[in-house]
A and B are shown apart, each in its own frame.
Chain A
Amino acid sequence: MNRSSGPVVWIGIIAATCLLLFLFKKILWLVVPFLLALIIYYFLQPATHRLVLHGLHRKTAAAITGGGFILLLLICAALLFPWISSHAVSWQESMARYIEGGSRLLQKTMDGLEVQFAFLERASLSRNVSEQMAAFTETFAQRYLADFVVTLATWLPALLLAPFLAFFFLRDGRRFTRFVANAVPNAFFERTLYLMHEMDRTARAYFQGLISLTILDTIALAIGLWIIGMSAPVLLGLVCAVLAWVPYVGSILGCLLVVLVAATDFPLDPWMAYGAIIVFILVRMLDDFVFMPLTIGRSLRMHPLLTVLMIFVGGAIAGVAGLMLVLPLLGVAMVVGETVGMIVTDPRLQARHAYARRLRNEQAAADLQA
């Protein structure tokens, strides 16, 4: 199908993406489970496909994979809950140890800066920062724990919805396609079928791109951390790569994690933490300017420049949610926009539709005229 769209269509696509981001920000409680359900759906789709290949009916295959996934989640939750409860104390100690290591690194850095620059010493930078850090860590639990628990309680039912949504996507996705296609006038029918097929392809390509991006990030970060001599580089790389699913905020959290581990494992060598920061920044740059345009950008057939620009736009409109949603939304808006553009700007299709409507009106009024 001809994919050359004019500037008006492209402005419409970008405007629609921005508008959707703005709207989605208001109904995040529904959008996030829906997005998670889509990730689960595309994750389970190959398994369902394989079962269908072995002769199972699609509904049975969907019931096996979807039901199996929900069952697995329940089993994991049942097994993890006692384990988490029993290890909570030791984790708390480890966390305290890592936070202490981070504070120590910060203190050393401030002391070093004060030695280098006299005006910092006069401003008592090190003491001020230490006091603020101490106050922050002491009041952190009181300030944010209640909010965290309330947010978790609000989001948990919505998040639990995701596997069930994914199950119904797997089972009834095809029926939904037929249902939508039935509502389309004859003149636009073939184009609409093509549009829905392309939307599915785009979403699948995006989530496959996301998985490729995670693997590339993990490998790059693991190699970098291994070169500077950090412990558990693959695990750290994987955790940071998964955190990076949330652009910027996830990266900051990942960087913080790597620095804390470096500062605690090598308390006498602050250069290890600085080295980890440098590695992290280099990998993030690689990710933003090479890996992401090559994986997600390529999977959505977008220009790398547009990909990077839209990430900034998404962040500006809808914050963290916007950063996460902007690329899949743009991909879908692109397919819909290009196809709708083709239909609206095709005078022949419009004429055929008008003619068919006239025929239907004439048929409906045939006996009335007599």
Chain B
Amino acid sequence: MFLFSKEEDSPRLKQLRALSLFSTLGPRELKTVDGLLHERSFLKDEVIFDQGEEGQALYIIESGKVLICRQGQPTGGKIAELGEGRLFGELALLDNSPRAAQARAAENCTLAVLFRADFLGLLETHAVIASKISLQLARHIGQRLRETVTSPAWQPE
């Protein structure tokens, strides 16, 4: 029965669903989001954004690895190394505050980019999709906060 059959995910939609930010979206919702995403390729060591730069977009790693570090200190100032499916630069989606750290490609990588204005537009036109993404984003920020608090280096003020 064609009318009641479940819509099959295309390889692209499967790839998008594998990303934590979009894991709760349905096929139609994923197609809508796919229309907003930009895809960029970075070579190993290429700078994705600098610390202090005004953030305009969120990045999701489709393939490869990304290093988050202090400005200009890829070895000594390493903060985190993120792999496939992880996201970074998420604070840019919430406000246009300066980037808190530098992001560099740790190896050749492909990133999906969600521009802030597109996300804000999504909040107006597709509130359900935007709220699902926002919830995932909140979970992600919460996880980051827990990791920071439970890390041995953290000292309460």
Tell me the minimal C-beta distance from B82 to chain A in angstroms.
Answer: 18
Chain B residue nearest to A189 (CB atoms) is B40
A174 touching B35, Cβ below 8 Å: yes
Q: Is the CB of B56 within 8 A of A193?
A: yes
Q: Which of A12-20, A268-276, A356-364 contacts B (4 or more CB under 8 A)?
A: A356-364
What is the interface residue range for chain A against chain B? 20 to 34
Q: Are B38 and A178 in contact (CB under 8 A)?
A: yes
Which of B32, B36, B48, B115 meets A186, CB within 8 Å?
Answer: B48
Q: Are B49 and A58 in contact (CB under 8 A)?
A: no
* Cβ-defined contact, B35 with A359, below 8 A: no
**CB-nearest residue of chain A relative to B52?**
A348
Restricting to B78-103, which residues have a CB under 8 Å from any CB of A? 96
Is B124 interfacial (CB-CB < 8 Å)? yes
* Interface of chain B, main secondary structure: mixed
Q: Assuming the A-B contacts A1-B54, A189-B40, A194-B56, are A355 and B125 also in contact, with contact meaning beta carbons closer than 8 angstroms in the complex? A: no
* Interface residue? A197 (CB, 8 A): yes
Q: Does A108 contact B (CB under 8 A)?
A: no
A-B contact count (CB 8 A): 54
Q: State how many angstroms separate the Cβ of B68 from the closest Cβ of chain A.
A: 17
Cross-interface CB contact of B43 among A52, A178, A348, A363, cutoff 8 Å: A363
When chains A and B are docked, how far (Å) is the Cα of A197 from the Cα of B117?
A: 7
Q: How far is the CA of A178 from the CA of B38 in the complex (A)?
A: 7
In contact, B46 and A355 (Cβ under 8 angstroms): yes
Contact residues of A between 182 and 216, Cβ < 8 Å to B: 182, 186-187, 189-191, 193-194, 197
Contact A360-B43, Cβ < 8 Å, known A174-B35, A194-B56: yes
The answer to whether A355 touches B54, judged by C-beta atoms less than 8 angstroms apart, is no
Say yes or no: is B25 at the interface (Cβ < 8 Å to chain A): no
CB of A58 within 8 A of CB of B46, answer: no
CA distance A187 to B48 in the complex (A): 7
A52 in contact with B125 (CB, 8 Å): yes
A127 at the interface (CB under 8 A from B): no
- Residues of B near any A CB (own CB < 8 A): 32, 35-36, 38-40, 42-50, 53-57, 96, 113, 115, 117, 124-126
Q: Which residues of A contact B (CB under 8 A)?
A: 1-2, 49, 52-53, 57-58, 174, 178, 181-182, 186-187, 189-191, 193-194, 197, 348, 352, 355-356, 359-360, 363
27 A-B residue pairs with CB within 8 Å? A1-B54, A1-B96, A49-B125, A52-B125, A52-B126, A53-B125, A182-B39, A186-B48, A187-B47, A189-B38, A189-B40, A190-B49, A190-B53, A190-B56, A191-B56, A193-B38, A193-B56, A193-B57, A194-B56, A194-B117, A348-B50, A352-B50, A355-B46, A356-B47, A359-B45, A359-B46, A360-B43
